[in-house]
Amino acid sequence: MIRTVVIDSDTLTRYGLSMLAGAHPDVEVVGETGSAVEAAELVERARPDVVVIDVELADGSGLALVRALRDRYAHLGIVVMTSLDTDDVLFRALDHGASAFVVKTAPVVEVLGAIRHAAVAATSFTATGLLDALTRRREQETRFALSPRERQVLTLLRDGMSIPEIAGSIHISKSTAKTYVARLYDKLGASSRAQALVTALRTGLIDYEPTPGS
C-alpha cells in the first residue's frame, strides 16, 4: 500500500485523487491539505510514502515546499502535479528534488504511474515528454550560445542586481559588466532587463529562483 498525502489548494483535485486511490488498492490517501503552511506538520504526522504537490498553492510556493521536504526526507517520493505544462516548470520540479512531474490533464494511468514511480524510486526523476524537453533545452542553449560568464551575469540580473552590484559581485569593472548585459540583451533579442528575463525563463536558461547552495 502506497501511503499518499495530497497537497493542493483545489478541493476538487484533492477529492479526485482520493477517489482515484479508492479505485486502486495499492494507493491510499492518508492525508490532504490545501495549505503549504500545514503541509510540513501533516507529512510529519501521516508519514506518507509519497506526497503529491501542486506547483501553485494558495499560501506559498509548491516548489519551495518540494525543496523543503526533499531536504528533510531524502527517501520521500514527491510528485509535482500541475496545470502548468511547460518545460521550465518541468525542469524547476527536477531541480527542486521532485521524483515525478505530471500534468493535471494526464490520463489516470499516468498519474498512478507517477505515484508508483515515486514510491520506489524517490531520488530519480520521471516525466512524460522529458526527453523532448531535454532536446528543446539543448537546442535553446545552442541557439543562444551563452558563455559561462554571460550565464553568471544573467543569473545576477535575475536576482535583481544592478550593473554596479554585478561588477562588484564578480570582480569586473562597471564598463565590462555593462558590456556583458548589452551582449545578453542582443543574444536574447531583448531591449530591457524584463524582456531578457522573460525570454531566459521561458527557454530554461535560468530558474525562477536560486538553487540551493548558489
Q: What is the CATH number of the domain that holds 109?
A: 3.40.50.2300
Task: State the pLDDT at residue 67.
Answer: 95
| H-helix or E-strand spanning residue 78 | strand 77-82
Number of domains in the chain: 2
Q: Which grid cell is 209?
A: 529562483
Pairing of strands 50-54, 77-82: parallel
Q: Enter the pTM of the model.
A: 0.70
The answer to whether residue 209 scores a pLDDT higher than 70 is no
32: cell is 490532504
| pLDDT of residue 141 exceeding 70 | no
Is 8 part of any domain?
yes
Query: What range does the domain containing 174 cover?
Result: 138-202
Grid coordinates standing for 145? 550560445
- Assess whether 64 and 152 both reside in one domain: no
Average pLDDT over residues 134-145: 74
Dihedral of the CA atoms 79, 99, 138, 171 (nearest 10)? 100
Output the nine-digit C-alpha cell for 102: 505530471
Separation between Cα atoms, residue 181 and residue 140, nearest integer Å: 19
Query: Do 106 and 143 fall within a single domain?
Result: no
